[in-house]
């Protein structure tokens, strides 16, 4: 059984007195910054002057700086921008401002594993990845709990990299729920596989195929939407809360029997072979090279596929159906304007 690390395993002095710069104030970055601050760490935010991230961070009470200045002022730099921006942000803003013994932290190992960034040998390179979206990471922290996380060390220049990673995990609430040690390769390859074969690619293709099968057979699109997409959440929630055991306990006897006899007809040896091909492309770096090349070429094919996904009939039907579901309608408050502050000296 893999060891699960708790608050007691995290050294509280590993980041004491260190300035932490969070560069990338999206869902994860905002949650990490706020949780770390509430845990007693000194946190600043690096963001583009006049941009939305700067305004939001300043409204949350953070000192904000251009990314290069934030990196220069920090001992631990958290690169939490989207993967495909890492090369540019690191080369232009972070690398020139890291000092020997500093640490670079990411929440996903893609850019490090596939060489988009190549940190110097005199800095720590660590990873801390909560297994949940940023808003959940924040909500759980605020009520005294946490979201489980995984952590890894790619490079230990200071001799303190692992302690720093665990201290950071504690700071965002991850060790409250448990942290598991992994490697950059394992985190990246399993994350990519999960997204492609199950969570995003697999799930959406399965839903779309089920919807099309019913509609092509003459059933109402609205009814097909309920059966193939809307009710999926109910099943996923049960599995999330208690695995297959809870799901099977709560569904009907007919549903259970249908699961046993028909599930393996849909997800079969051919499907598993295709999953193996997906994993092989990830392990060889073929997927990464393809995605990096697509990004560098302007993402025209990416945009074409995105547009095609949104034009599927199930999306048109779903948009109409969801308008009738009052609980899905959410109000968004306007963000307060931001303001840049001057950086403080880098902590030792």
Q: Which residues are catalytic?
A: 108
Q: How far apart are CA 137 and CA 145, in angstroms?
A: 9
134 is in an annotated binding site: yes
227 is in an annotated binding site: yes
Angle between helices 201-216 and 313-322 (to 10 degrees): 90
252 is in an annotated binding site: yes
Joined together, the tokens standing for residue 220 give 């109402």
**Alpha-carbon dihedral angle through residues 135, 128, 149, 25, given to the nearest 10 degrees:** 0
115 is in an annotated binding site: no
Q: How far apart are CA 226 and CA 103, in angstroms?
A: 48
Q: How far apart are CA 317 and CA 222, in angstroms?
A: 6
191 is in an annotated binding site: yes
Q: How far apart are CA 253 and CA 91, in angstroms?
A: 58
48 is in an annotated binding site: yes
The closest alpha carbon to 149, from 137, 138, 139, belongs to 137
The closest alpha carbon to 103, from 119, 92, 82, belongs to 119
327 Cβ neighbours under 8 A, 6+ residues apart: none
Q: How far apart are CA 196 and CA 331, in angstroms?
A: 31
* Number of residues that make up the chain: 348
* Binding positions for substrate: 252
* Binding positions for NADP(+): 25-28, 48, 134
* Binding positions: 25-28, 48, 134, 191, 195, 227, 231, 252
């Amino acid at each position: 059984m893999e060891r699960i690390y708790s608050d007691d395993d995290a050294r509280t002095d590993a980041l004491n007195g260190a300035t932490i710069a969070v560069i990338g104030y999206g869902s994860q970055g905002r949650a990490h910054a706020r949780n770390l601050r509430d845990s007693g760490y000194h946190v600043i935010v690096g963001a583009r002057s006049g941009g939305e991230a700067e305004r939001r961070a300043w409204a949350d009470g953070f000192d904000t700086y251009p990314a290069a200045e934030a990196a220069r002022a920090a001992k631990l730099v958290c690169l939490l921008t989207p993967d495909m921006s890492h090369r540019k942000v690191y080369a232009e803003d972070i690398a020139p401002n890291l000092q020997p013994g500093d640490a670079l932290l990411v929440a996903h190992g893609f850019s490090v594993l596939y060489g988009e960034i190549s940190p110097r040998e005199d800095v720590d390179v660590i990873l801390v990845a909560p297994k949940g979206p940023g808003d959940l990471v924040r909500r759980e922290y605020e009520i005294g709990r946490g979201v489980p996380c995984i952590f890894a060390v790619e490079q230990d220049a200071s001799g303190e990299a692992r302690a720093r990673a665990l201290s950071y995990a504690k700071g965002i609430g991850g060790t409250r729920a448990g942290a598991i040690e992994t490697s950059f390769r394992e985190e990246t390859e399993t994350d990519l596989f999960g997204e492609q074969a199950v969570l995003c690619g697999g799930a959406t293709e399965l839903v779309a195929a089920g919807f099309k099968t019913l509609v092509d057979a003459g059933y109402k699109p609205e009814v097909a939407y309920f059966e193939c997409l809307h009710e999926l959440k109910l099943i996923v929630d049960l599995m999330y809360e208690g695995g297959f055991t809870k799901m099977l306990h709560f569904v009907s006897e007919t549903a259970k029997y249908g699961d046993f006899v028909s599930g393996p007809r849909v997800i079969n040896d051919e499907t598993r072979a295709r999953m193996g091909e997906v994993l092989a492309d990830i392990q060889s770096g073929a997927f990464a090279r393809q995605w990096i090349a697509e990004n560098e070429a302007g993402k025209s094919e990416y945009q074409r596929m995105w547009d095609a996904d949104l034009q599927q009939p199930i999306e048109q039907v779903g948009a109409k159906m969801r308008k009738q579901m009052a609980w899905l309608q959410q109000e968004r408050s306007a963000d307060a304007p931001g303001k840049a502050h001057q950086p403080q000296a880098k902590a030792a």
